[in-house]
């Protein structure tokens, strides 16, 4: 979570963000940090990546970079 605070200047508050982690707990916290810092378009993926897998939705081969940008 410290990563969010130290890099928040890189976040564009006008963009839309969909946040998830493995199980949903950290992304819930991250979403509240985003909202507390004025980012209005934030969606937390409830249940995280594990919940996405359970839906059996088609997934892309995209691999997220390890940085915010």
Q: Can you tell me the mean pLDDT for 29-49?
A: 92
Asked whether the predicted pLDDT for residue 31 surpasses 90, the reply is yes
**Cβ neighbours of residue 7 under 8 Å, at least 6 residues apart?**
67, 68
pTM of the model: 0.73
**Per-residue pLDDT tens for 15-26?**
999 888 889 898
Separation between Cα atoms, residue 69 and residue 55, nearest integer Å: 28
Range list of β-strands (E), the chain: 17-19, 42-44
What six digits make up the tokens of 49?
């990546």
The pLDDT of residue 66 is 56
């Amino acid at each position: 979570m410290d990563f969010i605070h130290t890099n928040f200047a890189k976040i564009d508050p006008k963009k839309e963000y969909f946040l998830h982690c493995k199980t949903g707990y950290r992304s819930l916290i991250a979403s509240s940090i985003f909202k507390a810092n004025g980012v209005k378009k934030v969606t937390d993926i409830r249940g995280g990546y594990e919940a996405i897998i359970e839906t059996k939705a088609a997934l892309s081969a995209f691999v997220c970079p390890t940085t915010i940008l």
